[in-house]
Amino acid sequence: MNAEQPAGRRKSELPPLVVRNARPEDAEAIARLIAKVYPPQLRYGPEVVRGPMTNFPQGQFLVEHDGTVLGYAATFMIDEATAMGPHTWPEITNEGMGSNHDPAGDWLYGMEVCVDPDQRGQRIGQRLYVARKRLATRLKLKGIVFGGRMPAYTRHAKRFATPEAYLEAAAARKVRDPVIGFQRRNGFAPLGVLRNYLPGDTESGDCAAHMVWRNPNHPANMTDTDPI
């Protein structure tokens, strides 16, 4: 833990990090976390946070410590053609409401992940990614798809002719992008760049890395290794 240990309490007595499904009553706290993580043009309020909880309650997760929300992830199910094709965040999420959730969809779409920047080093983001993978596996989905921010892109844009070239370099660790690096370490691979993905995301040049994790337990992703 990064926080100073309270006097008189042993480390083993401190409240643990808890990963659970987010509930409507958490919306205010989640909105405060979003406001802490994102610049004003990318923030949204509790009424939007509650949308995915209404449409797909089991796909919304948070990490909390002693009642304080430190991380949040939102997902919904979507068909393959939509998940793999060109799209923007407002289009595919219906402005963050998650109302495009398709119970018959074969992919889990990750529409949001945010972690308190003051709580780094506690693997909060990794815990949220694990919760998503477990959900996709339990629902027997093909995997997880999302558009991930590229917050270091504009700092390095002069070195690369296109955002695609930047993504390729970042995925190959030739340039450091903390978000893409984290996703790669968690088993996600780039499909390409989604342009105009999130209007107002100037750090990413309004682009996103189209990322995929393929469920190794799904028949579509299994390779037959039996001898002929």
pLDDT digit string (tens) for 179-219?
Answer: 999 999 999 999 999 999 999 999 999 999 999 999 999 99
Q: What is the pLDDT of residue 198?
A: 95
Report the percentage of the chain scoring pLDDT > 70: 91
- Read off φ and ψ for residue 86, nearest 5 degrees: -60, 140
Q: What is the pLDDT of residue 15?
A: 72
Q: What is the pLDDT of residue 121?
A: 87
Q: How far is CA 177 from the centre of its chain?
A: 15
Which pLDDT band, with edges at 50, 70 and 90, does 120 fall under? Answer: confident
Residue 226 covered by a domain: no
Q: What is the pLDDT of residue 11?
A: 47
Closest CA to 146 of 177, 173, 107: 107
Amino acid letter at 173?
A: R
Is the model's pLDDT at 137 over the cut of 50? Answer: yes
143-149: strand order across its sheet: 17-21, 60-65, 68-78, 107-115, 143-149, 208-214, 189-194
Residue 10 covered by a domain: no
C-beta of residue 143 within 8 angstroms of C-beta of residue 83? no
Q: What is the pLDDT of residue 131?
A: 98
User: What does pLDDT average to over the chain?
Assistant: 91
The total of structural domains in the chain comes to 1
Residue 9 covered by a domain: no
Say which CATH number the domain at 113 has: 3.40.630.30
Residue 123 covered by a domain: yes
Q: What is the mean pLDDT of residues 33-49?
A: 96
Residue 228 covered by a domain: no
Residue 7 covered by a domain: no
Is the model's pLDDT at 1 over the cut of 50? Answer: no
Report the percentage of the chain scoring pLDDT > 90: 88
Range of the domain at 50: 15-221
Is the model's pLDDT at 45 over the cut of 70? Answer: yes
Q: What is the pLDDT of residue 19?
A: 98
Name the burial class of residue 209, with classes exposed (0-12), middle (13-18) and buried (19+) by CB atoms within 10 angstroms of its CB: buried
Which pLDDT band, with edges at 50, 70 and 90, does 14 fall under? Answer: low
First to last CA, the chain: 53
Pick from 6-10, 58-62, 222-226: least confident: 6-10
Which pLDDT band, with edges at 50, 70 and 90, does 13 fall under? Answer: low
Residue 6 covered by a domain: no
Residue 109 covered by a domain: yes
